[in-house]
Structure 1
Amino acid sequence: MLFSALRRRGALAALSATVLAAAFAASAPVHAQDKSRIKVGISVGNAEQIFEVVKKVAARDGLTIDVVVFNDYQLPNAALSAGDLDANAFQHQPFLDNQIKSRGFDLVSAGLTVTAPLGFYSRKIKSIDALPDGASVGIQNDPSNGNRSLLLLQAAGLITLKPEAVKNNTATPLDVVTNPKKLKLVALDAAQLPRSLDDLTIASINNDYAEKSGLSFNKDAVIKESAKSPYANLIAVRRADKDAPWARKLVAAYQSAEVRQFIETKFNGALIPAF
């Protein structure tokens, strides 16, 4: 009789555990690893064309990609961190590092995409040799791209920066130590720079915004960053999702031979596969 009672108690305990586990499973969110459809944030311009090919490749591997296009570099990481996106593909590692430091995002790189050489553009001059003294020069106001633009101006021999700022990739206009042409550095939001070209002599414009504005890196840039730039763009995800099957499928789709061929054929050196 005692054995029967213990057996009934054990059965009831097991049943209760099963019910609780089922209830928890029903209320818990579907784990990211179970996803076959994801949202990926990208910036306007050439990324939209590239992801049309990425989507086709991913679909063959059972992954559906919904693309969300942003016009502002400050929004995609916030959306990813908040869970409104599963991944984004618009930034290089220095930009992501700065966002993590300043905004506390727990985001990581899942894989590399393209290197987009930075260029300075102008509606007033055709060659950097024609840059006049006192010219107004637009650069990005975010730390990573602003630093990148100043390094490009230094590489062109137009300014000299403090060695420590160059070493640490932290250059700002305050780190300019020589400026023989007395250039006026104007820091603006990256998206504003193409629209400000009429008011500036030259402006540093990221590749995606340049393409969207009808500017060609190969034809129109008066200063060009080397193709060996360390600023390779990447696919970012939340840290917990880095090894999820869908994340691996996304990276594999982007780094496929089909996407590589499209980039090399379509952009002719203005974008360079980083994988």
Structure 2
Amino acid sequence: MNKFLKVGAAIALGLTLTACSSNGSDSDADSKKIVVGATTSPHAIILEEAKKQLADGGYELEIKEFSDYPNINPATSDGSLDANYFQHQPYLDSYNADSGYAEGDDGYLISAGSIHYEPMGVYSKEIEEINLDNLKEGDQVVVPNDATNEARALFLLQDLGLITLKEDATVDKATKADIKDNPKNLEIVEVAADQIPTRIEDAPVIVVNGNYALDADITEYQRAIEDANSDAAKLYANIIAVKKSNADNEAVKKLVEVLKSDHIKEFIAEEFGDTVQAAK
């Protein structure tokens, strides 16, 4: 009887040790896997390139592409995603505020690093050089209708000498009401950013973010872009966003390291030209 008890105990102990060993291995594998939500262009394209470098370091990157970007942050807050890559800091700040998250809440998201910048660009099929001389009285200029991107568009128009903004206008809040001088009485038309590229067929000038220009394949009509050293370039750099509890995750840190590497910077330059630029 004692003999059978000893055999049973040994088997039970062996199963326990095997289970512990298996769980440890699974845990190690999980810690080297990261699930990132992203929009297709340029974010998922950049992540696909980073995936190769991460694999060389033993990390597995799973990319989940979203066409409906408002759902990406909630999926990160609830833990469905480990991180996301599609937005700039002002958008993230708005999400946290609108969702009622305060710093310290589990769903509160933070930036783990700035990766690239999509310059606001001026596009036109009709006009090759954008200046007052080449625009007619009352010409339409289409700009984004959301607060942050409209402000960027207006500052770019000011840089080109088409309008002058009030002295207290800021690059994150300026609107049409902040236009002080408009010599050609240009008609500033506000449209949802993702709808602007189609207006290149009927409006002399459109102003839109680089990612939308890429998606619509209109980059050949780019006539001007934001200065890479401008305040907007720093403020609107696209980031990797994570829950604060994930900020020190080794896979997250490795992802950011790879995305900020010289290899990825060179890839961005070769793949997208000046429509997408690596963050400084």
Structure 2: how far apart are the matches of 1:155 and 1:75? 35
Q: Flag structure 2 segments of 5+ consecutive residues without an equivalent.
A: 1-22, 102-107
Aligned alpha-carbon RMSD (Å):
2.5
- In the alignment, what sits opposite 2:35? 39
Equivalent residues of 2:40, 2:65 under 8 A apart? yes
Q: Which residue of 2 aligns with 1:127?
A: 129
Letter in 1 for 2:195: Q
In the other structure, the counterpart of 2:196 is 193
Alignment of 1:1-275 (within 5 A): 35-104=31-100, 106-129=108-131, 130-166=134-170, 169-216=172-219, 219-228=220-229, 229-230=233-234, 231-275=236-280
Query: Which has the higher mean CA deviation after the structures are superposed, 51-60 or 75-84?
Result: 75-84
Shift of 1:248: 0.6
Question: In structure 1, what is the Cα distance between the partners aligned to 2:127 and 2:74?
Answer: 38
TM score, norm. by length of structure 2: 0.77
Superposition misfits of 4+ residues, deviation over 4 angstroms: none
Residues of 2 paired with 1:99 and 1:160: CA distance?
Answer: 31
The answer to whether the 8 Å contact 2:33/2:60 transfers is: yes
Residues 142-189 of structure 1: CA deviation (Å, up to 9, x unaligned)? 2211211111111111122222222x7311122222222222222222
Residue identity in the other structure for 2:250 = P
Q: Tell me which amino acid in the other structure corresponds to 2:33.
A: R
Q: In structure 2, do the counterparts of structure 1 residues 211 and 101 end up closer, same or farther at CA, with 3 Å as the change threshold?
A: same
**Contact kept? 1:36, 1:62, Cα under 8 Å:** yes
Aligned amino acid, residue 243 of structure 1: D
Identity of aligned residues (%): 37
Equivalent pair of 1:44/1:208 in contact (CA under 8 Å) = no
Q: Give the distance between the partners of 1:101 and 1:181, measured in 2 at CA.
A: 39
C-alpha deviation, 1:251, in angstroms: 0.6
Q: Is the 8 A contact 1:43 1:90 kept in 2?
A: yes
- How far apart are 1:34 and its partner, in Å? 5.1
Contact 1:194–1:205 (8 Å) recurs in 2: yes
| Counterpart Cα distance in 1 of 2:69 and 2:129 | 29
Question: Are residues 131 and 213 of structure 1, via their aligned partners in 2, closer, same or farther at CA, if it must alter by over 3 Å?
Answer: same
Q: In 2, are the aligned partners of 1:44 and 1:209 still within 8 Å (CA)?
A: no
Tell me by how many angstroms 1:213 deviates: 1.4
- Residue correspondences, number: 243
Residue 72 of structure 1 deviates from its aligned partner by 4.6
Q: State the shift of 1:113 in Å.
A: 0.6
